[in-house]
Amino acid sequence: MDTHRKPRRRHSAEFKSQVVEACNAPGASIAGVALSFGVSANLVHQWRKGCGLRHSSGTQPPSQELAASPAFIPLALPSLVPEPAAAPVDIRVEVRCNALHVNVAWPCTAAADCAAWLRELLR
């Protein structure tokens, strides 16, 4: 067991408020302020939370400001029902066999006849 432990330091309320105020200065980083005062940055974060400060500017973040004053905001949402796709006019078949090239356009209304024709062609 380690018997050479340093005792915990206690900081006055004045010192804590001085450190927290230094963090609220424009452009000040918490790590830099903690280093200059000789304390841990984690400790400074705890002190800021204890004062009710969470944002570096000393104000509440925008998300918390919105939560404090709820209001209805209408949003335009896309339709959940997909638009019907334009039905193809024809079934198009292209057959290439050596020098033979055949292009066939078959009406969609006779798709079954097209399938029967293809079965006969491919035998």
pLDDT in tens, 17-60: 899 989 888 888 999 999 999 999 999 999 888 865 554 444 44
Q: List, in order, residues 6 or more apart from 105 with CB less than 8 Å away.
A: 90, 91, 92, 93
Helix (H) or strand (E) run with residue 93 in it: strand 90-97
Q: What is the pTM of this model?
A: 0.39
